[in-house]
Structure 1
Amino acid sequence: MGELVDGKGESGRAVLGRTLKFLREKAGKSLGQLADETGYDKSYLSRLESGERLSKVTVMEDLDAYYKAGDLLVSHWRSVRLDAFKDQYKRFMGLEATARVMWVFTPAVPGLLQTEDFTREVLSGGQTTPDADELVEEQVAARLGRQYLLRQKPEPDVRIIMDEVALRRPAARAETWHDQLLHLEAVATWRNVTLQVLPFSAGVHHHMTGSLTLLWQKDGSAVAYKEGNGCSQLDEDPDEVLRRRLSYDRLRDLALSPSDSLAFIRGVLKELRS
Structure 2
Amino acid sequence: MVNIRALDPSASPLDYFGSELRRKREAAGLTQKELGAIIFCTGSLVGQIETTLKVPTREFAERADAALMTDGFFSRLVGLVLRSQLPTWFQPYAELEARATYVSTYQAQMVYGLLQTEAYARAVLATGMPDQLDELVAARMERQRILTREQPPLTWVVLDEAALHRPIGSREIMRAQLAHLLTFQLNRSVRVQVLPFEAGEHASLVGSFNALRFDDHPEIVYTEDLISGHMSASPDTAREAALRYAHLQASALSVEDSAALITRVMEERYAHTSAPDERAVA
With the length of structure 1 as denominator, give the TM-score of the two structures: 0.86
User: What secondary structure sits across from 1:171 in the alignment?
Assistant: coil
- Report the 3-state secondary structure (helix = DSSP H, G, I; strand = E; otherwise coil) of the residue aligned with 1:196: strand
Kindly, what percent of the aligned residue pairs are identical? 30
Encode CA deviations 1:146-184: one digit per residue, 9 max, x unaligned: 111111222111111111111101233222222222211
Residue correspondences, number = 263
In 1, Cα distance between equivalents of 2:111 and 2:240: 24
Query: More deviation in 83-92 or 166-175?
Result: 83-92
2:219 corresponding residue in structure 1: 222
Aligned partners of 1:225 and 1:235 also within 8 Å: yes
Cα contact 2:90–2:228 (8 A) shared by 1: no
Match of 1:273 among 254, 268, 271: 271
Query: What amino acid maps onto 1:158 in structure 2?
Result: T
Contact 2:158-2:192 within 8 A present in 1 as well: yes
User: Which runs of no fewer than 5 residues in structure 1 stay unpaired?
Assistant: 1-5
Supply the distance in 1 between the matched residues of 2:13 and 2:154 (Cα, whole angstroms): 30
Deviates more, 1:206-215 or 1:116-125: 206-215
Whole-Å separation in 1 of the counterparts to 2:66 and 2:262: 36
Q: Is the 8 A contact 1:56 1:142 kept in 2?
A: no
CA contact (8 A) 2:193 2:255 kept: yes
1:124 aligns to what? 126
Give the match for residue 3 of structure 1. none
After TM superposition, list the pairs within 5 Å mapping 1:243-262 onto structure 2.
Answer: 243-262=240-259
Q: Distance in 1 between matches of 2:133 and 2:104?
A: 27
- Equivalences for residues 26-175 of structure 1 within 5 A: 26-107=27-108, 108-127=110-129, 134-175=131-172
> How far apart are residue 224 of structure 1 and its match?
1.0
String of CA shifts for 1:227-246, please: whole Å, max 9, x gaps.
Answer: 23444220112222111111
Give how far 1:97 is off. Answer: 0.8
User: Does the aligned pair in 2 maintain the 1:88–1:234 contact within 8 Å?
Assistant: no
User: How far is the alpha carbon of 1:44 from its aligned partner?
Assistant: 2.6
Cα 1:87/1:36, change in 2 over 3 Å: closer
CA distances 1:121-146 after superposition (whole Å, capped 9, x unpaired):
2222332xxxx5x5111211121111
Q: Distance in 2 between matches of 1:34 and 1:224?
A: 45
Query: d(CA) in 1 for partners of 2:67 and 2:106?
Result: 39
Worse-superposed segment, 103-112 or 170-179: 170-179
1:88 deviates by 4.1
Greater alpha carbon shift after TM alignment, 247-256 vs 52-61? 52-61
**What's the offset of the Cα at 1:12?**
1.6
Return the structure number with greater helix share: 1
**Are the equivalent residues in 1 in contact too, given 2:35–2:67 (CA < 8 A)?**
no
CA distance in 1, matches of 2:120, 2:186: 20
1:84-116 per-position Cα deviation (integer Å, ceiling 9, x unaligned): 334442221111111111111112111111111
CA contact (8 A) 2:100 2:214 kept: yes
Distance 1:38 1:118, change over 3 A: same
Q: Aligned partners of 1:29 and 1:182: how far apart in 2?
A: 44
Q: Decide whether the 8 Å contact of 2:115 with 2:181 is kept in 1.
A: yes
Q: Which has the larger radius of gyration?
A: 2
Which sections of structure 2, spanning at least 5 residues, go unmatched?
A: 1-7, 273-282
Question: Secondary structure at the residue paired with 1:234?
Answer: strand
Q: Which whole-Å CA distance do the structure 2 matches of 1:41 and 1:204 have between them?
A: 55
Q: Is the 8 A contact 1:164 1:199 kept in 2?
A: yes
> Structure 2: how far apart are the matches of 1:210 and 1:70?
45
Of stretches 166-175 and 225-234 in structure 1, the one that deviates more from structure 2 is 225-234
- Kindly provide the amino acid, as one letter, of the partner of residue 7 in structure 1: P
| 8 Å Cα contact 1:106/1:163 also seen in 2 | yes
* In 1: Cα distance, 2:239 partner to 2:225 partner: 20
